Amino acid sequence: MVRLTDLPQSPGAATGLALAARPLPARTQGPRRELVAPDDELLGPQEPTPASGERACDLAKFHIPEVVFGPGALAELGHAARRVGARQPFLVTDPGIIEAGWVAEAQGHLRLAGLSPVTWHGVTPNPKDHEVTDAYVHYVESGADVIVAVGGGSCIDAAKGVAILASNGGTILGYAGVDKVVQPIPPLVMAPSTSGTGADVSQFAVITDTTEHTKITIISRTLVPEISIVDPRLLITMPDELNAATGLDALTHAIESFTSRAHNPLTDQHALHSARLITEHLLETMLRPRAAAPRTAMAQAALQAGMAFTNAILGITHAMSHQVGGLLDIPHGVLNGVLLPHAIRFNAAVEPQRYVPIAAAIGIDTANGRPGAEVADELAAHVRQLADTVGVPRGLSKLGVSEADIPTLARNTLKDACLATNPREADVAEVEALLRRAM
């Protein structure tokens, strides 16, 4: 089982994780008394000592890319790639994005900037280990440089996989876990076409292990892209089911990053605002797919949730959904929509108060001292109601999970790095029980 104390201890390693790992969750720590006077005033200059870094348990790191945001932002793709050194960028995408017309526009912007893009479109949902290998071979043979992705989280994660192999070698499955990517990678410029994965700003890449039928999570601050190009126009061609899934994924990012053991005041504000935007605008994007205001709001929500979770990390919902998605190749956001209400109730059994601010952010009445457990339960019900409204099945069994799958899914959940920052510890029996409740 991955525990918080197993994660890197050096300051700055695996943004957010290392700082939260000394000793247990950072939010329970008081101020660093050595640097705060008895009257609660900050002290002035101090003599540096070798132990100074050991007093850093209250520091917050916030690592994100440069962001270009708004309708028409895709026009900046060529200039952005050129600024980070591109001459022959490697454009990772998929057939659906090509059919929608976004790749042709992206290629045009790259060429207008004097670049010669090489395009690879062999990505499928839940990117596979062999797809990353194939893309890497094409990258090397083409002589490309900067890596650009135009597409959803699968395209972006595949692009990150290519970047890892380009400078670190080996096989992509060898980088599972935290801070296994030790060499700098080629620059990354990402243009997301969905409003949910947050991959365009995160230090995560999730790849399917096709032999073990599971997903591996790679966490490294080297994976945070140089530039994210967020153009809400790209969202209008999403199918309804993808729109629903990625929106629920973003909501899960917001809630899990807010309750993470590695959260901090910088991530909290993005998580809370993201949750409000999603609950206000997700359904409207399905009813009015081309309406500018709700699409722009969802693009912002996905961006802010991504900023939150890449720095605060996630929790047990993602730790479980990675395993189910790897087993059955089910859309990640759909699984989060099924699992999140159960995870909220599981965590709230020991720490309900943390869910109160996020419940308030999405419009749940938290006034007059309502008990935290009651508020958390209503939050879980609210999430389930939203999932019902956008068409997500109510249980894992409807997605193909069987009772026989549960022991393996539970064991693999304990290995997932996202579990390390879950607010409640969990053993294999508890995860099995949680999965059964979600059936």
Identify the residue whose tokens are 């949910």.
196
Query: How many C-beta atoms lie closer than 10 Å to residue 167's C-beta?
Result: 13
CB-based contacts of 409, cutoff 8 Å, min separation 6:
320, 323, 324, 327, 401, 431, 435
Tell me the torsion sign for CA atoms 288, 292, 294, 299: positive
Question: Which runs of consecutive H residues, i.e. helices, occur in 169-290?
Answer: 240-259, 265-287
Q: What is the 3-state secondary structure (H, E, C) of 338-387?
A: HHHHHHHHHHHCCCHHHHHHHHHHCCCCCCCCCCHHHHHHHHHHHHHHHH
User: Which helix (H) or strand (E) element contains residue 140?
Assistant: helix 129-142
Q: Tell me, what's the pLDDT at 27?
A: 41
User: The tokens of 160 are what?
Assistant: 């990150």
Q: Tell me, what's the pLDDT at 24?
A: 38
pLDDT tens for 57-80 read: 578 889 999 999 999 999 999 999
CATH for the stretch 239-437: 1.20.1090.10
- Sequence letter at residue 110: L
Q: Tell me, what's the pLDDT at 59?
A: 80
Q: Tell me, what's the pLDDT at 17?
A: 52
CB-based contacts of 369, cutoff 8 Å, min separation 6:
none
pTM: 0.91
Question: Can you list the residues of the chain whose pLDDT is less than 50?
Answer: 5, 8-16, 18-31
CB-based contacts of 195, cutoff 8 Å, min separation 6:
232, 235, 238, 243, 246, 247, 250, 285, 295, 298, 299, 301, 302
Domain extents for the chain?
Answer: 70-235, 239-437
Q: Which residues pair with residue 209 across a beta bridge?
A: 214
In CATH terms, is domain 70-235 a member of 3.40.50.1970? yes
Q: 178-208 as b/e, with b when 16 or more CB fall inside 10 Å?
A: bbebeeebbbbbbbbbbbbbbbbbbbbbbbb
CB 122 within 8 A of CB 134: yes
